[in-house]
Structure 1
Amino acid sequence: MIRNGEFYMIHEMKKRGMSISQIANELGRDRKTIRKWLQQSEPAYYQRHVKRPSKLDPFKDYIRRRMEEGCLNANVIFDEIKAQGYTGRKTILRSFMQPLRPSVLSKATVRFETSPGYQAQVDWGRFRVDWNGEPKRLYAFVMVLGYSRMMYVEFTEDEKLETLMGCHLRAFEYFGGRPEVVLYDNMKTVVADFDERGHAVWNERFARFAAHHGFLLQSCRPYRARTKGKVENGIGYVRKNFWPRVRTFTGLDDLNRQVRDWLDTVANVRVHGTTHETPRERLIREGLKPFNPMPFEEVDRHARKVSPDACVSYENNRYSVPFEWVGQIVHIQDLKNGRIRIYHGEQLVAEHPKATGKHQRIVNEKHFEGLQTTSRHKIPQPMPRLVPQAIPEVLERDLSVYEQFTDEAVNV
């Protein structure tokens, strides 16, 4: 059954003029199935079935590893896992091994060169930093254009879907357009699962995002991640060439400024070892297509009321906005790349670098220009204040003391 994420891919291919046969060959589907889904204007939502555990589940990683080592004989593997405690039938093992065979039969990987403007490859790199005295993991989004080897890198706080979509748009802006196809490994924010035939089950929201901006999704075959070698080489290049240059940084915003400078002055202007040209020169021949200027969907925004000091609070820090917005409700958008944007409706009213600690106040002095600093009303002069004097304590004495004083006075 075609999942909803693939529904958007099929309709996008049809818009590009591909025939039913071409779409079926590209996706590995039956022509009748493609024709049926093209006749529908909306995807059919399905009831998710609970997948029962299989007796083979604990042994699947071992089976894949043995197949990658070159052992494709089901009888041999059956004997090996049986000795490890497998109690199921051999037919279950054969059914599991069958779709994996094509990916391990080829012993060598042929270099895949793409035509101009056709493909980009995307993956995440992970880096450790000292963040205010504590170890912290940062994530590097890397996109590489297959033809020109032009690279885009952006460091982020996480790998969430909203972050991934934002990185795509900023990469397209940096390149000046988008490719026809983007290739991914089986990252969970893009590939939700693989079906029984080995086809990717796309994350539905991300598939709609891709269709909205006009590019197709492509996944590496399971356990065949070498097909995205260009971006993996790119991540290695970032790790070996850029990362050793970073001695200190003041936050993600500063780190992204440093990596942008490295892209512009080193990575994308060097002579590439495979193409023997600079990525910047070959980018001219990529012929990238424009992406949709209409926003696909706004990322999460956090409503805040502007306080009398013309600031809003977010994650235990305060950020200024123009003083005219005092008392208004605004919305904060955290780009998760070291920048904070503040909107009123669709109007961008302020943008700041994101604070790296807590209880900080990030202020743009221009937000207070024109604000009257002296009041038109006279400030009342201080007046003397009466402080009542405390009543002195009275010493209490026994009456016999006074009688003694009386006797002394009579005797005198």
Structure 2
Amino acid sequence: MPAKRELTMRQIRQMLRLARDGVSAREIGRTLGVARSTIQDNLKRASTAGLAWPLAGDLTDAVLEQRLFAHAGVRRGFRRCSEPDWASLACELKRPGVNLMVLWEEYRAVHPEGYGYSRFCDLFREFERRLSPTMRQDHPAGDKVFVDYSGKKIMIVDRETGVVRDAEIFVAVLGASNYTYAEATWTQALPDWIEAHVRMFRFFGGVPRLVVPDNLKSGVYRASFYDPEINRSYGMMASHYGVGILPARPRKPRDKASVS
């Protein structure tokens, strides 16, 4: 009996054609010089992937191989370690305070013999690349600063009264260098929002060409893909400093990925 081995994409195409013609797995194996179990395994993979003969004319070998063998975030081949649900981890990563280190620690708590941190990150990034292709954004120096509130709060204790208050965290990141400014404000209201910008400009020692905020009500009165309406006071501040306001598109976090 032939040893069980992998098939080339040409052989897989031939296998699908013979299976369509009603040839048994045993006979296909004899024709291709492989074990029957190999044919059965590949036919099962093809059925799961929704592939049948005739294949689409524009289906390349690379795409065919990916549909048959490539699991999201996993390279073809045997895996020695258990893997997490990468799609669930991608959703978890969007939550405030969650990063890959936190997710890896939770994974290792369940799978003590699982992947190390670096391999875990490699596999996650591989999965992430397959979700949707993105274009790298290049920002010239001094062109944009991305501003937003982090979504997390910090507790501040009054040393005299002992009263504890929650404060918001304002974050600004220069697009070219990722040079970051952060400060705590009591609220996200308009006065705190504008004063945070003033202190940010003072910290950077200048102003960029554009400020890219999220669609916070203090900055953007009406969010719109084509014609956002800027808060009047916020617009007057921008006019005073000679900067433009370019709000990120609604529900497009990659427009301000640096600060997110």
TM-score of the superposed pair, with normalisation by structure 2: 0.45
Q: Output the TM-score relative to the length of structure 1.
A: 0.29
Structure of higher CA gyration radius: 1
